[in-house]
Amino acid sequence: MTTLHLEEAHGDHAYALEPNLHGNDRRWISYAYSDGDKYPAEAIRLSIEESEQAFTICDDEGELLGVWGHGAWDRPTGVGYVWLLSTDTLWNQHYPSLNRAWRRVILPKLDEIYTQYSTTVLSDNAKLVSWLRLSGFKANTRSDRTGTLFTNYIRS
């Protein structure tokens, strides 16, 4: 069984992750960031640097499999956001380990920090939508302002 290791992320991790970025995450960036289709590594760097905390996800050999982070939308009320950018390898070869880390480590910590937190995903990303719903997230709002349907999921 592979153990996933979470370490503090640095903006430079964006350039290591970008070449192997999962197709759905690449699409998300292209719609969510101006020039995201031309400069996805810059969008990843901004996500890391603008979050209150961001962490790399690596396997036992040190391969970078993803980066995730969180931050406050509204500090006085305790409302936050969470995000994950990943590789195909993380989902295809390390899903059980990712799910364990998510449920045993990440969600309990986020629950301590925030009264509620959300994430916005491409509505057609069925695997991620299912994972979020099984983790207690509920659909909050939907938008197709970019011409592509996004759904915001919230957990409280």
* pLDDT tens, position by position, 109-144: 999 999 999 999 999 999 899 999 999 999 999 998
Task: Give the pLDDT score at 8.
Answer: 97
Q: Exposed, middle or buried by CB within 10 Å (0-12, 13-18, 19+), for 148?
A: middle
Q: What is the arithmetic mean of pLDDT over 42-70?
A: 96
CA distance 12 to 52: 16
What value does the mean pLDDT take over residues 70-77?
Answer: 92
120 bridge partner residues? 152
Is the pLDDT assigned to residue 53 strictly greater than 80?
yes
Question: Distance between CA 97 and CA 84 in Å, rounded?
Answer: 15
Looking up tokens 């289709």, which residue turns up?
Answer: 37
In the predicted structure, residue 29 carries a pLDDT above the cut 80: yes
- Tell me, what's the pLDDT at 68? 97
